[in-house]
Structure 1
Amino acid sequence: MDNQYAEFFTSVLGENQIKINEPMSRHTTFGIGGPADCFLMPKTSEELRIVTRIAHKNHIPIFILGGGANLLVRDKGIRGVVVFTGHLQNIERGGNLLKVSSGVSTARAAKAAYEFGLSGMEFASGIPGSIGGAAYMNAGAYGGEMSKIIVSATTVDDRGDFISYRAKDLGYSYRHSRFMENGEVIVDITLSLRYGNQKDIKALMDDLNHRRRTKQPLEKKSAGSTFKRPAGHFVGQMIEELGLKGYGYGDAQVSEKHAGFLINNGHASCEDMLALIHDVQDKVKKNYGVDLNTEVQIVGEE
């Protein structure tokens, strides 16, 4: 396997768990992104632990990828290794607690909660991406937020040691957690939910998902809401008032369905999308005096 990084991991992962120059466009909901030098797919938390330790020990840049939502990868791709957590798929129930591996999709975790008759995850049933990514960024919707239901988390640090955290130590605020600062890899989280009536849980999930389908461009390639909500303002409303629905660069476009969503309407490059993001930010700043910060994480070689 001809890659300067791959040889470090062949003793831990099988050949089918290592890909060279893997296009990140295949792994992001935007459908945008150049190649990752080395793409690793651990199947267990132990493999994840060892891979993380090897990367740090050998000073190999490491990026953790979940479901690829809320992510914009630059056209030159990602140097070093990308570690994909999508094969970590355990869900364990203990009473009203649900322990979920980081690679489980947020939608699957919400469905499991419903099947167990547990309420509290309904808000997340339509959030794209993985539960690890949702915990990382404190994802939220419709008045719910991950920080309200997470009671503990297990991570791997740069020495390859498992670390346990209680909720109060996770530094949660709006779209922020301590994981963004300490560089640790989320292995699993434990959610504290409420016992509920399955019919009521299903009805709420169906209602929220119907609202999403009617208001959001779910049929298009996007990373979800592109910008964080500034205090006292609605992003989509400002962009729409500026007449920017349908406005774009190449195949990067402001959604005509919801102006708060920027979409890849075909084969948009990261360069196109960044040009659109910056243009929208400039126009909103000029007309409203409001700074729009991206909720989408922008990564890769400039």
Structure 2
Amino acid sequence: MNRNKNYKVLFSNLYKDVQMHENAKMSEYTNFRVGGPVNILLTPNTKEQIIETIKICKENNIPFYILGNGSNVLVKDSGISGVVIKLSEFNNIVRNGNIIKAESGALLKDVSDEALKASLTGFEFACGIPGSVGGAVFMNAGAYDGEISFIIKEAEVMDEKGNVITLSKDKLELGYRTSIIMKKNYVVISATFSLKYGEKDKIEGRVSELTHRRENKQPLEFPSAGSTFKRPEGYFAGKLIQDAGLKGFTLGGAAVSDKHSGFIINKGNATAKDILDLIEHVQKEVKKQFGVDLYPEVRIIGED
């Protein structure tokens, strides 16, 4: 029995056929629109499915990867050996007063919309981040002077032993693009946010302002994973890249955006190797010219 069929048998009692995708092309599930296939992609829609899926993977020594909206991921051209657990169907959002609880696959935009409807302020910064709640908590996502650590109350996670535990904000160790979840390879199940009541018109105005700024300053017309590099202490990655003369620089089908040098884009026919080669070239040039190390913010997974 080949590997894909074996995986399908292992998960057949847990998933309907429509929730299992053999040889799924990761280019169709990630915002960069590159990447080879995975043996099987699963789309759970309950907490129990997620827990049992991970348990089966661990018991059978199957490598697995958690995927939200695929907005901050670069999958290599030879694809992924193992299982991808895509959480986009695990996306319920519940509000109780000024508290919003969202499952890990919920889109940040949808949580932002829920907050706006209830005249709750604090989530506006995330209105344009194209990611999911799980990924945002995993990396303490932020934009426009806001970040997850400012509003999160607690997160429900699955630890490496398969235990589902709730971590309060102070136990999450949230820092710049990091968390205990990232450090210990936990899986986010859900997150609870504590917001404040505000004036709906002002909240709506802030959301409109940030949406307009994003549309004007970011290359949304091209596939990308958002900001490619973390912000080096004391600098801005985009300015360093621009000052290094790399704005618009192209390798294969990948390019440093003409609109925002902090973004590497897929001009339409890029391979993952093109993007990785360009990341490496940018790192070398910035290091050579300014002595500053750039580290990718995008998560790179898969086989060479």
User: Shorter-chain TM-score: what band?
Assistant: over 0.9
- List per-residue Cα deviations over 1:62-106 (Å, max 9, x = no partner): 100000011111001111100000001211111111000110111
Structure 2 counterpart of 1:26, one-letter code: E
Corresponding residue for residue 236 of structure 1 = 238
Corresponding residue for residue 41 of structure 2 = 39
How far apart, in 1, do the equivalents of 2:188 and 2:236 lie?
31
Asked whether 1:204 is paired with 2:206, we answer yes
Structure 1 counterpart of 2:81, one-letter code: R
Structure 2 counterpart of 1:176, one-letter code: T
State whether residues 57 and 159 of structure 1, in contact with CA within 8 Å, keep that contact through their aligned partners in structure 2. Answer: no
Per the TM alignment, residue 242 of structure 1 is displaced from its structure 2 partner at its CA by 2.2
How far apart, in 2, do the equivalents of 1:96 and 1:52 lie?
33
Structure 1 counterpart of 2:7, one-letter code: Y
Corresponding residue for residue 250 of structure 1 = 252
Corresponding residue for residue 18 of structure 1 = 20
In the alignment, which of 265, 269, 272 is matched to residue 270 of structure 1? Answer: 272
1:170-249 map, 5 Å: 170-249=172-251
Asked whether 1:294 is paired with 2:296, we answer yes
Structure 1 counterpart of 2:16, one-letter code: G
| CA RMSD, 1 decimal | 1.2
**Of 162-171 and 187-196, the range deviating more from structure 2:** 162-171
Asked whether 1:283 is paired with 2:285, we answer yes
Per the TM alignment, residue 160 of structure 1 is displaced from its structure 2 partner at its CA by 3.8
Corresponding residue for residue 123 of structure 2 = 121
Gaps of 5+ in 2: none
Identity fraction in percent: 45
How far apart, in 1, do the equivalents of 2:272 and 2:294 lie?
19
How far apart, in 2, do the equivalents of 1:67 and 1:168 lie?
26
State whether residues 3 and 38 of structure 1, in contact with CA within 8 Å, keep that contact through their aligned partners in structure 2. Answer: no
Corresponding residue for residue 141 of structure 1 = 143
How far apart, in 2, do the equivalents of 1:158 and 1:286 lie?
40
How far apart, in 1, do the equivalents of 2:48 and 2:71 lie?
25
- List per-residue Cα deviations over 1:86-141 (Å, max 9, x = no partner): 00121111111100011011111111111111100000000111111111110001
**Of 271-280 and 227-236, the range deviating more from structure 2:** 227-236
TM superposition score normalised by structure 2: 0.97
- Dislocated runs of 4+, deviation >4 Å: none
Per the TM alignment, residue 158 of structure 1 is displaced from its structure 2 partner at its CA by 4.2
How far apart, in 2, do the equivalents of 1:238 and 1:183 lie?
31
State whether residues 160 and 184 of structure 2, in contact with CA within 8 Å, keep that contact through their aligned partners in structure 1. Answer: no
In the alignment, which of 97, 100, 112 is matched to residue 99 of structure 2? Answer: 97
How far apart, in 1, do the equivalents of 2:161 and 2:143 lie?
35
State whether residues 153 and 166 of structure 1, in contact with CA within 8 Å, keep that contact through their aligned partners in structure 2. Answer: yes
Per the TM alignment, residue 44 of structure 1 is displaced from its structure 2 partner at its CA by 1.0
How far apart, in 1, do the equivalents of 2:162 and 2:40 lie?
19
Structure 2 counterpart of 1:279, one-letter code: H
Per the TM alignment, residue 45 of structure 1 is displaced from its structure 2 partner at its CA by 1.2
Partner secondary structure for residue 23 of structure 2: strand
How far apart, in 2, do the equivalents of 1:77 and 1:70 lie?
16
Asked whether 1:150 is paired with 2:152, we answer yes
State whether residues 236 and 259 of structure 1, in contact with CA within 8 Å, keep that contact through their aligned partners in structure 2. Answer: yes
- List per-residue Cα deviations over 1:37-73 (Å, max 9, x = no partner): 1101111111111111111121111100000011111
How far apart, in 2, do the equivalents of 1:174 and 1:3 lie?
41
State whether residues 117 and 197 of structure 1, in contact with CA within 8 Å, keep that contact through their aligned partners in structure 2. Answer: yes
Gaps of 5+ in 1: none
How far apart, in 1, do the equivalents of 2:13 and 2:121 lie?
43
State whether residues 102 and 192 of structure 2, in contact with CA within 8 Å, keep that contact through their aligned partners in structure 1. Answer: yes
In the alignment, which of 166, 169, 172 is matched to residue 171 of structure 2? Answer: 169
Between Structure 1 and Structure 2, how many residues are aligned?
A: 302
How far apart, in 2, do the equivalents of 1:242 and 1:185 lie?
38
Per the TM alignment, residue 273 of structure 1 is displaced from its structure 2 partner at its CA by 0.4
- List per-residue Cα deviations over 1:148-189 (Å, max 9, x = no partner): 111111112345432111111111110001111222211100
Structure 1 counterpart of 2:65, one-letter code: F
Partner secondary structure for residue 293 of structure 1: coil
- List per-residue Cα deviations over 1:256-300 (Å, max 9, x = no partner): 000110000002111100110000000000000000011011111
How far apart, in 2, do the equivalents of 1:168 and 1:44 lie?
27
Asked whether 1:112 is paired with 2:106, we answer no
- List per-residue Cα deviations over 1:200-244 (Å, max 9, x = no partner): 100001001111111110111000000011111111112112221
State whether residues 113 and 121 of structure 1, in contact with CA within 8 Å, keep that contact through their aligned partners in structure 2. Answer: yes
